[in-house]
Amino acid sequence: MRTAIATFAQRGYYGTSTMDVAKAADISQGYLYRLFKDKETLFATLVHYCSDRLREDLALAAAAVRTSDPQEILRSLSGSYDEVIADRQVLMILMHAQCSAGEPVIGEAVRQCYAKQVEHLRALSGASDEQIGRFFADALLKNVMAAIDATDIDAPWTRTLRAAGTSAS
């Protein structure tokens, strides 16, 4: 899984072949196909893996919160989310997954990822639909800023986007 994540994170679903993954994992392509039906199934499995990691990290952060205020819980979970996407490979799998959602199996994996994240966040925080929607809007903006390596750029446009991304935090 780690090798497949690292390989797909570099060039995405469309730019990575199963031969690339097999070679990086030092296994035969035939063995890879014994493990996964096809490239789409492999990539969808990576989406599920990254989704599980997000939920696990959010649950750990929520367990450390000493308040029942949904906004404070979301603020804490936002920090946890920042730590997860600091892993560029996980971030890029999530970004590539959205771009590859036109592939049926990947699209379903992405929809399941969002559905599970929303309900998990709701259960952890007790937040309203509006608060959860804001959390996701901020998270998606953070994804873009991190993916384009703009988080450390000090320019008017990046300050504007960072300010927008912290409005609910």
Rounded to a whole number, what is the distance in angstroms from the first to the last CA of the chain?
A: 33
pTM for this model (two decimals):
0.91
pLDDT per position as a tens digit, 4-57: 999 999 999 999 999 999 999 999 999 999 999 999 999 999 999 999 999 999
Q: pLDDT value at position 169?
A: 45
pLDDT per position as a tens digit, 60-99: 999 999 999 999 999 999 999 999 999 999 999 999 999 9
Q: What CA dihedral angle connects 6, 12, 161 and 84, to 10 degrees?
A: -30
Give 165's pLDDT tier (boundaries 50, 70, 90): low
Closest CA to 107 of 55, 40, 17, 51: 40
Give 101's pLDDT tier (boundaries 50, 70, 90): very high
Q: pLDDT value at position 163?
A: 86
Statement: residue 159 has pLDDT above 50: yes
pLDDT per position as a tens digit, 120-155: 999 999 999 999 999 999 999 999 999 999 988 999
Question: Can you tell me the distance from the alpha carbon of 73 to that of 64, in angstroms, rounded to the nearest whole number?
Answer: 10
The helix or strand, by DSSP H or E, that contains position 156, with its residue range, turns out to be helix 156-165
Q: pLDDT value at position 90?
A: 95
Statement: residue 167 has pLDDT above 60: no
